[in-house]
């Protein structure tokens, strides 16, 4: 029953027959590319040493993952993307940045909790999109990144699979997205270069209405 009530990062106190108190906690087991391959349960005595070890483990986890969405953070995404792309030296990929339009307005209208729910929903969607075909990250704020094989990515595919709808007591709301995309044939160049290109593309469609998609071109950089 304890296992059923636990989720990652949630602690439950329990008691053994010897009268000692214990903490029970679940954590995801990830492969080197960030895919969830299992779950571990940790049961520790509640004492100073156990608390110190738990805090150390959480600190290490926070250094690699975004705690809200459980995706890679910026630095881990860059590191993992290099490893991932090295496995496919002839592969053609697309790197994309996904941004929620008017996110500050969402927070000011609905509150921080709803803003977090929107971000978590994007995290859920992007995990389904990527699966074991690529990698994904919450870079910062409301900006997410993904790297996927080129043959998977079309604007229609993104439009059909990235719809964000949230429902509350007042009704259903669709939140608009914008995407900055660039083609990537890996040659050892820094991932930061491609992320910068995606950001340039993202800024180029900032005045468009509705969901918007922009592919990086050298002319965009020259114009900027």
One-letter-per-residue 3-state SS of the chain: CHHHHCCECCCEEEECCCCCEEEEEEEEEECCCCCEEEEEEEEEECCHHHHHHHHHHHHHHHHHECCCCCCECHHHHHHHHHHHHHCCCCCEEEEEEEEECCHHHHHHHHCHHHHHHHHHHHHHHHHHHHCCCCEEEEEECCEEEEEEEHHHCCHHHHHHHCCEEEEECCEEEEECEEEEEEEEECCCCCHHHHHHHHHHHHHHCCCCCCCEEEECCHHHHHHC
The predicted-structure confidence for 12-67, as pLDDT tens digits, reads as follows: 566 666 666 677 777 777 776 667 778 777 777 766 555 666 677 667 777 788 88
Band the pLDDT of 93: cuts 50, 70, 90. Answer: very high
Q: Would you state the pLDDT for residue 17?
A: 60
β-pair type (177-185, 212-215) = parallel
- pLDDT score of 2 more than 50: no
Q: Would you state the pLDDT for residue 30?
A: 75
- pLDDT score of 201 more than 90: yes
Q: Would you state the pLDDT for residue 46?
A: 67
Average pLDDT over residues 68-80: 91
Share of the chain above pLDDT 70, in %: 80
Question: What does pLDDT average to over the chain?
Answer: 82
Q: Would you state the pLDDT for residue 24?
A: 73
- pLDDT score of 136 more than 80: yes
Band the pLDDT of 101: cuts 50, 70, 90. Answer: confident
Q: Would you state the pLDDT for residue 3?
A: 46
- pLDDT score of 6 more than 80: no
- pLDDT score of 8 more than 70: no
Average pLDDT over residues 150-177: 84
pLDDT top residue among 10 and 37: 37
Residues counted in the chain: 224
- pLDDT score of 5 more than 60: no
- pLDDT score of 158 more than 80: yes
Band the pLDDT of 151: cuts 50, 70, 90. Answer: very high
């Amino acid at each position: 029953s304890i296992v059923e009530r636990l989720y990652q990062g949630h602690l439950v106190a329990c008691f053994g027959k010897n009268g000692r108190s214990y903490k029970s906690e679940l954590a995801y087991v990830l492969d080197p590319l960030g895919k969830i391959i299992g779950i571990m349960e940790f049961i520790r005595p509640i004492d100073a040493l156990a608390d110190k070890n738990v805090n150390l483990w959480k600190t290490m986890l926070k250094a690699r993952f975004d705690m809200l969405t459980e995706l890679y953070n910026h630095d881990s995404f860059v590191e993992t993307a290099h490893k991932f792309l090295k496995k496919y030296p002839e592969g053609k990929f697309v790197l994309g940045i996904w941004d929620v339009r008017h996110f500050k307005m969402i927070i000011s209208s609905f509150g921080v909790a709803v803003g977090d729910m929107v971000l978590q929903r994007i995290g859920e969607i992007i995990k389904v999109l990527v699966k074991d075909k690529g990698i994904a990250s919450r870079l910062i704020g409301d900006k997410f990144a993904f790297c996927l094989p080129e043959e998977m990515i079309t604007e229609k595919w993104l439009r059909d699979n990235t719809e964000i709808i949230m429902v509350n007591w007042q009704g259903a709301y669709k939140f608009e997205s914008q995407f900055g995309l660039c083609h990537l044939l890996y040659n050892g160049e820094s991932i930061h270069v491609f992320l910068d290109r995606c950001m340039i593309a993202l800024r180029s469609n900032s005045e468009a209405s509705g969901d918007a998609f922009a592919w990086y071109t050298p002319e965009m950089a020259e114009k900027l």
